[in-house]
Amino acid sequence: MSGKFFVYIFSTIIVIWSMDAVNINKIFKKNKIIQARVFYFLLGISLIYLVANFFMDLFLSVKSF
């Protein structure tokens, strides 16, 4: 398996763990449960992508030195 797979798994664990600390109930309107879940899911996917790419770029730049 490639190293990118493990970076994405690590990023997923970190993002889920960190998003668990946020209380998002106060942000959304009442009775908008589905929209809140979709937003939370898309936010998580976006953060996983950004964190994984950050670590990949960091590892590649350190490796090139």
Share the mean pLDDT of the chain.
91
What's the N-to-C CA distance of the chain in angstroms? 25
Could you tell me which of 5, 40, 41 has the C-alpha nearest to residue 25?
40
* pLDDT in the model for residue 26: 84
* pLDDT in the model for residue 1: 67
* pLDDT in the model for residue 42: 97
Alpha helix (H) ranges present in the chain? Answer: 3-19, 33-64
Q: Is the pLDDT of residue 25 over 90?
A: no
Instruction: Output the pTM of the full model.
Output: 0.84
- Lookup: tokens for 53: 């790419």
* Residue 55 lies in domain: 3-64
In this prediction, residue 3 has a pLDDT band, given cuts at 50, 70 and 90, of confident
Could you tell me which of 56, 54, 47 has the C-alpha nearest to residue 4?
56
- Lookup: tokens for 31: 């009775």
Structural domain total, the chain = 1
